[in-house]
Amino acid sequence: MTVAATRVLVLNGPNLGRLGRRQPEIYGSTTHDELVEMCRSWGHELGLDVEVRQTNHEGVMLDWLNAAADEQTPVVLNAAAWTHYSWAIYDACAQLAAPLVEVHISAPSTRPEEWRHTSVVTPHAARVIEGHGLEGYRMALETIAGR
């Protein structure tokens, strides 16, 4: 008998679709498509069925988070700029029953812009991973897999 892999959503917010082109000195040269493949591969190694999505539209992200809440699906969330001000994202994350891991490629808490130092996601996260580049996504998936 085969056991089904745990489904995990990796959700990326605004501008992350431009990875590899947007501020590579901060976010690196790996593209979002390459990140998708990396997350799927890491998930497979961990026995997870990983689906990676990216949107620049807050309502779409809210729909995904609401569905994850309804389906009790674990979420790895890089809410990008929404991290710092979206009370709608805060409310959606509050509904999640399965683990939520907040991930950031850079370390917003140490960036020079004061507004980046606050996260509306953190109060609902089982773990926050920041400043580890794309490796942070692997760490987040390992957290969900229970490693």
Query: What mean pLDDT is reported for the chain?
Result: 93
Does 6-145 carry CATH code 3.40.50.9100?
Answer: yes
Q: 44 catalytic, yes or no?
A: no
Q: Are 133 and 105 in contact (CB under 8 A)?
A: yes
Residue ranges for the known binding site are 78, 84, 91, 105-106, 116
Task: Give the residue extent of every domain in the chain.
Answer: 6-145
Of 41-45, 62-66, 111-115, 138-142, give the lowest mean pLDDT range.
Answer: 111-115
- Phi-psi category of 2—alpha, beta or left, where left has phi over 0 and alpha has psi -120 to 50? beta
% of the chain surpassing 90 pLDDT: 79
Q: Can you say which residues are annotated as belonging to the binding site for substrate?
A: 78, 84, 91, 105-106, 116
pLDDT digits 0-9 by tens, 109-118:
888 788 777 8
Percent of the chain with pLDDT over 70: 97
Active site residue 137: no
Q: What is the pLDDT of residue 2?
A: 47
Find the catalytic residue in 27, 90, 124, 137.
27
Dihedral sign from CA coordinates of 75, 78, 83, 89: negative
Cα angle 95-32-127, degrees, rounded to a multiple of 5:
35
Output 131 or 28, whichever has higher pLDDT. 131
Catalytic residue selected from 90, 104, 124, 137? 104
Mean pLDDT on 122-141: 97
